[in-house]
């Protein structure tokens, strides 16, 4: 198959043709004949931080509904987190989760392994058993507070036992200095990937180390005066938010931290927001308006996620990569409405913000979304 059109190729929009065999790009040229794709062909996104719930929390999200939401947002691959109910702390539960994903997921699916004080002594052996069958992107997100809390001694022990990427939720409590202190302590232990950083000071510390960082749309867009619902880490005041935006260029990864709860749970203080479907569309709109550079968006939502988390053949549009595309029509801008989204919780903090949703999506060379119509069944996605 050969597709021709305006592809984001090697840092810029290029009118060219892409030859695809067995789901993989084998050639990119200007002088081939093929089917013309209307719109801007972007590499499909990789969201390395989602919570697809399921198991005992299937009433508010499932791998099926979460992955469908991801697909409609132009995402081809997700990294699910292990703080499920029950949590993913052993090989048996990991395998059960992946078996469920294999039957339900619309997009390609991967899963982190959880770390607690109870499994740290066996974490290397659990990882060895799991990776006989599956690719584990990381151990994480490791919590320094809450139900799955570990101490710095446990984190240090895990860092010594495995070479695998470890992702950390760097908070001891809710105040701004807490994030900075946690990052400083973790950096003294070793190399980590820091989830959803919310302050410019912490982001700068990570940027000047050999560790990597991740930021979310909600910390970049909203202050604690805009949104009163709880999230971890909390939304900051306007000045802190603006400083984070100014240093967006320092962040390695942009991720949604898609964390759905029912509206009743939110009213009771459950932390987290859904967002896997709206991230790419909102930021593509920002690219159109000149607020964000297209190169930065692709780097932080496609290229770096693939490199940092070790996803072979995923990433930018180039020879040897999977043909994973999200096709955007820049004229199709519209306000976000919860009623149009596909998460089970049916609400969003981004209601009425402008976005450009992908019209077509390809995963491994197969068109899975055409004119916003679904062309595949659940279970289409690969489990890594």
CATH class of 2-41+322-374: mainly beta
C-alpha to C-alpha distance for 340 and 337, rounded to whole angstroms:
6
Q: Please give the pLDDT value at position 384.
A: 97
How confident is the model at residue 176, as a pLDDT? Answer: 81
Q: Which helix (DSSP H) or strand (DSSP E) does residue 373 occupy?
A: strand 373-374
d(CA 196, CA 203): 10
Cα gap 374→369, rounded to integer Å = 5
Do 2-41+322-374 and 44-309 come out as alike in CATH topology?
no
At what angle are helices 91-104 and 63-72 packed, to 10 degrees? 50
Closest Cα to residue 66, out of 257, 310, 196? Answer: 257
Top-level class of domain 44-309: alpha beta
User: So where are the chain's domains?
Assistant: 2-41+322-374, 44-309
Classify 349 as helix, strand or coil.
Answer: coil
Q: What percent of the chain has pLDDT over 90?
A: 95
User: What's the pLDDT at 149?
Assistant: 87
Give one DSSP letter per residue of 56-93, joined into a string. TBTTT--HHHHHHHHHHTTEEEEEE-S--SS---SHHH
Predicted local distance difference test score (pLDDT) of residue 73: 98
pLDDT tens, position by position, 293-341: 999 999 999 999 999 999 999 999 999 999 999 999 999 999 999 999 9
CB of 227 closer than 8 Å to CB of 349: yes
- pLDDT, residue 117, reads 94
**pLDDT averaged per 10 residues in sequence order, the chain, 384 residues:** 97 97 96 94 98 97 98 98 96 98 98 96 97 97 85 95 96 86 97 97 98 98 94 95 97 98 93 97 98 97 98 97 98 97 96 98 98 97 98
pLDDT confidence of residue 146: 76
Contact of 194 with 211, CB cutoff 8 Å: yes
Distance CA 143, CA 172 (A): 9
Q: What is the pLDDT of residues 39-90, one digit of tens each?
A: 999 999 999 999 999 999 999 999 999 999 999 999 999 999 999 999 999 9
Active site residues: 257
CB 195 within 8 A of CB 169: yes
**How many other CB atoms are there within 10 angstroms of residue 99's CB atom?**
11
What's the whole-model pTM score? 0.97
Q: Are 162 and 192 in contact (CB under 8 A)?
A: no
Q: How far apart are CA 175 and CA 237, in angstroms?
A: 11
Largest CA distance in the chain: 60
Q: CA 53 to CA 70: how far, in whole Å?
A: 14
| Of the candidates 163, 340, 331, 346, the residue with the CA atom closest to the CA atom of residue 260 | 346
Scan for tokens 């069944």, then name that residue: 377
At residue 380, the pLDDT reads: 98
**What is the pLDDT, as a whole number, of residue 114?**
97
* Number of helical H runs and strand E runs in the chain: 12, 18
Dist. CA 236–CA 213, nearest whole Å:
18
Residue 293 has φ and ψ, to the nearest 5°, of: -80, 140
Q: Which helix (H) or strand (E) holds 265?
A: helix 263-267
């Amino acid at each position: 198959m050969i597709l021709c059109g305006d592809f984001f190729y090697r840092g810029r929009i290029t009118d060219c043709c892409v030859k695809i065999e067995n789901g993989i790009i084998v050639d990119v040229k200007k002088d081939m004949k093929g089917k013309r794709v209307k719109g801007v062909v972007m590499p499909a996104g990789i969201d390395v931080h989602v919570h697809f719930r399921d198991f005992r929390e299937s009433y508010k999200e499932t791998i099926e509904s979460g992955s469908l939401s991801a697909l409609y947002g132009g995402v081809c691959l997700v990294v699910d987190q292990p703080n499920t109910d029950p949590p993913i702390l052993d090989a048996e539960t990991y395998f059960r989760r992946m078996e469920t994903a294999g039957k339900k997921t619309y997009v390609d699916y991967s899963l982190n392994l959880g770390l607690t004080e109870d499994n740290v002594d066996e974490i290397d052996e659990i990882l060895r058993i799991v990776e006989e069958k599956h690719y584990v992107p990381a151990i994480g997100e490791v919590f320094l507070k809450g139900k799955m809390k570990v101490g710095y001694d446990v984190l240090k022990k895990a860092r010594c036992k495995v070479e695998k990427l470890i992702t950390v939720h760097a908070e001891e409590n809710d105040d701004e200095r807490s994030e900075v202190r946690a990052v400083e302590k973790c950096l003294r232990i070793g190399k980590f990937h820091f989830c959803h950083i919310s302050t410019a000071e912490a982001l700068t510390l990570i940027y000047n180390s050999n560790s990597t960082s991740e930021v979310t749309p909600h910390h970049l867009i909203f202050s604690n005066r805009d949104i009163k619902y709880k999230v971890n880490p909390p939304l900051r005041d306007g000045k802190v938010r603006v400083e984070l935006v100014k240093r967006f260029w320092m962040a390695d990864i942009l991720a949604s931290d898609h964390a759905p709860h029912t509206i009743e749970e939110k009213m009771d203080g459950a932390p987290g927001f859904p967002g896997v479907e709206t991230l790419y569309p909102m930021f593509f709109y920002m690219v159109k308006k000149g607020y964000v550079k297209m190169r930065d968006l692709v780097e932080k939502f496609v290229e770096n996620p693939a490199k940092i988390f070790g996803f072979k053949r995923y990433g930018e549009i180039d020879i040897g990569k999977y043909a994973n595309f999200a096709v955007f029509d820049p004229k199709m801008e519209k306000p976000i409405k919860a009623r149009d989204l596909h998460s089970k919780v049916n609400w969003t903090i981004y209601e009425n913000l402008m976005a450009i949703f992908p019209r077509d999506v390809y995963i491994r060379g197969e068109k899975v979304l055409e004119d916003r119509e679904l062309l595949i069944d659940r279970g289409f996605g690969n489990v890594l």
